[in-house]
Amino acid sequence: MKTLFKQLRTYALESVLGPLFKLLEAMFELFVPLVVADIVDRGISSADGGAVVRGFGILIALGLIGIVCSITAQYFAAKASVGCATKLRHALYAHIEALSFSDLDRIGIPTLITRLTGDLNTVQSGLNLALRLLLRSPFVVFGAMIMAFTIDRRAALIFLAVIAILGAVVTVIMATSVPAYKKVQSELDALTGTTRENLSGARVIRAFRMESGEREKFASHSDTLYRRQLTAGRISALMNPLTFVILNVGIILLLRTSGIRVNAGVLTTGQTVALYNYMTQILVELVKFANLIISISKAVSCMKRVEEVLGTEPGMSFPSSAPAEIPDAPAVEFRGVSLRYGAGEESLTDMDFRIERGETVGVIGGTGSGKTSLIALIPRFYDATAGEVLVNGVDVRAYPADVLRGKIGYVLQRASLFHGTIRSNLSWGASDADEEGIDAALRDAQAKDVVASKEDGLDSAVEQGGRNFSGGQRQRLTIARALVRRPEILILDDSASALDFATDAALRKSLAALDYRPTTIIVSQRTSSIRHADKIVVLDDGRVAGIGRHEELLSSCPVYREIYESQYKKEA
């Protein structure tokens, strides 16, 4: 909860004024039974109409003042809770952005989405209620007890006993409900993950007719969530009936004791009415407090989950200043590099080769051979578990993130576009790119026809994920996005897999003719896409099986020859 209080310091004034105005409202509310008692004893009993009118006037004034205080308190509480939740959301999102890919893989995307949305909304709601009621309800309860002592001590002892019993009940229920709600949130994460997986893979599920199996899987998580919510709900549901039973028993005892003392002439009828009203106020406030405790229990559980993410130290740290590069050093160099994901086996072992500046290098290998893992080390998406990856003669760990990744144009294996327009997506490559630069990037990426086919050209809408474009169109636009920044190192991670052979050949030809001569690394399953590269790196089970040109590898590398011959026959 330290993080919450830290963010709440920004709204210290609102956090004080909100509860303060609620206490003022409660204070005026505590005077109401005394006014009612005066109306009964002086006005009604004595048939004094003036006293009754004056009493009603005071009640109306107290009510109006209470409403003003309540609205003011709600304003300050809402401002503090919404502002604090907004700051927490920004802090959490910024922290998630700072986490490495390894951290994201370990925590899980569905969990992060739940904590960034649902958990923080629960924290906001709980904080709002706490600022308004956490002090008000106890103040009214103990204030009513004190006011009861000023009227009659013997009757007030009943108040003391009722409050003590209710305090014990609330404490037990709170101690039981907090772990129960924590389990509910944990199962909600699992359900969110299953839902996200099913929706993103809907086409695959339907293609293999696995709808029934996935429905059963979803139903299993849903039933578990239902049972855990039911358990937590049953515990919370005990609060109201137990509260009402205890308080009604207290009211019965109070009326019996007060009635005897009225007959004895110790108490007046108005004082009895006042005691009853104070007991009713305690009933109302404890019901509110019981619901508040449940809401706070949920908020505390959710805040702990948020703090778990905020407390996760990023697996990577970046220096603040850029290092001095070596002019004659290779563009990229791998020195004895190995990579392991988590505690599993090594995905890459003893990678040792150089890529000179301006070279075009192809990377090929079977599925799972480590091609994507290898090139992910260059922009430092992952850190090598052994060895060094150097860019321009400097270890990638010595570069600030913006400097290192500013040198690289990376086209991912899965083409991803963002909601907006074609222009806004291309501007990700360089926000200051002019029309000429964008046009050149589209031409080199063979994507001019994609823009020309749209009525609004560069200002044509792009839906989330680019789902209003075909796979080939998305790939060409993401290549253009990388080319807009005119990178020193261009990495194409199997980014032409959806292109036909003619478009693929035209793309390779235009990349070879770029005037700024970037170092180009092409990852591909097709030998035809890399056969004209200056150098080809062949991977097999995370190891280098061969390095050389196309003709050399055909004669010296069995792995490459097998890949080539299988594709050559298919293409023939």
- SS3 assignment, position 412: coil
- SS3 assignment, position 323: coil
**Residue 77 identity (one-letter amino acid):** A
Residues 179 and 270 in one domain: yes
Residue 157 belongs to some domain of the structure: yes
Residue 320 belongs to some domain of the structure: no
Residues 302 and 368 in one domain: no
Q: Residue 380 is part of which domain span?
A: 332-571
pLDDT above 80: residue 344: no
What are φ and ψ of residue 532, in 5° steps? -100, 10
**How far is 16 from 140, CA to CA, in rounded Å?**
18
Residues 338 and 285 in one domain: no
When the pLDDT of each residue in the chain is averaged and rounded to a whole number, the result is 87
Q: From 272, 306, 340, give the residue that closes a domain.
A: 306
What's the rounded mean pLDDT across residues 106-126? Answer: 87
Contacts of 79 (CB under 8 A, 6+ apart): 11, 14
Question: What per-residue confidence (pLDDT) applies to 343?
Answer: 64
Question: What per-residue confidence (pLDDT) applies to 534?
Answer: 92
- What 3 state SS string does 105-165 have? HHHCHHHHHHHHHHHHHHHHHHHHHHHHHCCHHHHHHHHHHHHHHHHCHHHHHHHHHHHHH
Residue 411 belongs to some domain of the structure: yes
Residues 249 and 388 in one domain: no
Residues 86 and 235 in one domain: yes
Packed helices 269-310 and 49-98: angle between N→C axes, nearest 10 degrees: 10
CATH number of 531's domain = 3.40.50.300
* pLDDT bracket for residue 569 (50, 70, 90): low
pLDDT above 60: residue 564: yes
- SS3 assignment, position 410: strand
CA proximity to 284, closest of 30, 556, 554: 30
pLDDT above 70: residue 312: yes
Residue 313 belongs to some domain of the structure: no
Q: Which residue has the higher pLDDT, 283 or 334?
A: 334
* HSE, side-chain direction, 13 A CA sphere, residue 447: 30
Residues 265 and 133 in one domain: yes
436-442 long-range Cβ contacts below 8 angstroms, 24+ apart: 437/484, 437/486, 438/480, 438/484, 440/483, 441/480, 441/481, 441/483, 441/484, 442/480
Residues 261 and 339 in one domain: no
Q: How many domains does the chain have?
A: 2
Residue 93 tokens, joined: 């999102």
- The answer to whether 59 and 32 have CB atoms below 8 angstroms apart is yes
CA proximity to 174, closest of 134, 139, 145: 134
* pLDDT bracket for residue 571 (50, 70, 90): very low
Question: What per-residue confidence (pLDDT) applies to 349?
Answer: 92
**How far is 492 from 361, CA to CA, in rounded Å?**
10
- Report the largest interatomic distance among the alpha carbons of the chain, rounded to a whole angstrom: 119
| CA dihedral angle for residue 121, residue 124, residue 128, residue 133, rounded to 10 degrees | 80
Contacts of 322 (CB under 8 A, 6+ apart): 399, 400, 403
Q: 10 Å Cβ neighbour count for 419?
A: 12
Residues 351 and 263 in one domain: no
- The answer to whether 552 and 534 have CB atoms below 8 angstroms apart is no
Residue 312 belongs to some domain of the structure: no
**How far is 474 from 499, CA to CA, in rounded Å?**
10
Q: Phi-psi region for residue 415, left (φ > 0), alpha (ψ -120 to 50) or beta?
A: beta
* pLDDT bracket for residue 177 (50, 70, 90): confident
Q: From 290, 306, 322, give the residue that closes a domain.
A: 306
Q: From 246, 271, 306, give the residue that closes a domain.
A: 306
pLDDT above 70: residue 111: yes
Residues 401 and 537 in one domain: yes
pLDDT digits (tens, 9 = 90+) for 419-448: 999 999 998 878 888 888 899 999 999 999
Residues 301 and 336 in one domain: no
Residue 314 belongs to some domain of the structure: no
Question: What per-residue confidence (pLDDT) applies to 120?
Answer: 93
Residues 253 and 350 in one domain: no
| Of 6-15, 205-214, 289-298, 475-484, the least confident | 289-298
- The answer to whether 221 and 189 have CB atoms below 8 angstroms apart is no
pLDDT above 80: residue 47: no
Residue 311 belongs to some domain of the structure: no
pLDDT digits (tens, 9 = 90+) for 54-76: 888 998 999 899 899 999 999 99
Q: Which residue has the higher pLDDT, 156 or 422?
A: 422
**Residue 139 identity (one-letter amino acid):** F
Concatenated DSSP letters for 233-273? HHHHHTHHHHHHHHHHHHHHHHHHHHHHHHHTTSS-HHHHH
CATH number of 106's domain = 1.20.1560.10
Residues 162 and 275 in one domain: yes
pLDDT above 60: residue 572: no
Residue 321 belongs to some domain of the structure: no
Residue 20 tokens, joined: 């303060």
- SS3 assignment, position 19: helix
What are φ and ψ of residue 5, in 5° steps? -65, -35
CA proximity to 8, closest of 94, 123, 136: 123
**Residue 172 identity (one-letter amino acid):** V
* HSE, side-chain direction, 13 A CA sphere, residue 500: 3
Describe the chain by its helix, strand, coil percentages, rounded to 5: 65, 10, 20
- The answer to whether 90 and 113 have CB atoms below 8 angstroms apart is no
Cα Rg, the chain, nearest whole Å: 35
pLDDT above 90: residue 334: yes
Question: What per-residue confidence (pLDDT) applies to 176?
Answer: 83
Q: 10 Å Cβ neighbour count for 468?
A: 14
